[in-house]
Amino acid sequence: MQTTRRRGRLVRAAIALALLAGTAQAAEMTIFLQPQFQGRQVTLRGESDNLASIGVTDQASSLVVHSGRWQVCTQPDFQGECMTLGPGEYATLDARLNHRIESARVIGGDGPRLSSEERHGYGRYAANEGYGNGSIELFAGPRFRGRSLTLDRDAAFMAGTGFDNRAASAIVNEGVWQVCTEPRFRGDCRTLGPGRYADLGAGMTREVSSVRRVG
């Protein structure tokens, strides 16, 4: 009986490891050092907090997000100006990113499916502009700069996310979200519908301690 149970535990552990491995392999992005997918290329399959370590810092000119949603930032350790890119082909990069990307990481699963036109180079910085991802993105700096956190569920205690009293701007991709200055959705609260909030305003900037979806 004990042997059977042990084997069962081992099987479950193996399945869990396989699932984790599959998740790690699911997100993939290729960076090119020249526009139109030319020049040297590097493929990322996980977090890279400093692209200098692989020789592509401040050189990215185009990229392909094969799968996953990726956050790319203009400074190491996901600092500076950050953008979220959904699956697609980016034949040229936004001026805010061109030759400026220094770190990159996966922040979620695939976004909404893209049309053929969208997938071939017509500007899909969609996670920062569209409303189809069912999430809210919080940024430590105004105008969507600095470290960011993406939430797709309620957070009654932001302290548990490491982002307590840090949010200064936000992007609501879908739904209506409430941000509050105290844990458990108490204190002063503000309701945010789909859109871009470059500044959370006095009394809310760097005061958010809980977040929940209310619509």
Contact at 8 Å (CB) between 73 and 49? Answer: no
Looking at the chain, the domain(s) classified CATH 2.60.20.10 span: 26-129, 131-215
CB 164 within 8 A of CB 156: no
Q: What is the pLDDT of residue 14?
A: 44
Range name among 64-73, 128-137, 156-165, 189-198 with the lowest pLDDT average: 128-137
Of 48 and 124, the one with more pLDDT: 48
- What is the rounded distance in angstroms from the CA atom of residue 92 to the CA atom of residue 32? 10
- The pLDDT of residue 89 is 83
Nearest to 140 by CA among 119, 153, 123, 158: 158
CATH class of 26-129: mainly beta
* Entry pTM: 0.46
Higher pLDDT, 81 or 77: 77
* Sequence-ordered alpha helix ranges (H) in the chain: 2-26, 116-119
Architecture in CATH of 131-215: Sandwich (2.60)
The maximal CA–CA distance of the chain, rounded, in angstroms, is: 64
Q: What angle do CA 199, 90, 84 make, to 5 degrees?
A: 30
Q: Among all chains, which residue has been given the structure tokens 């350790």?
A: 77
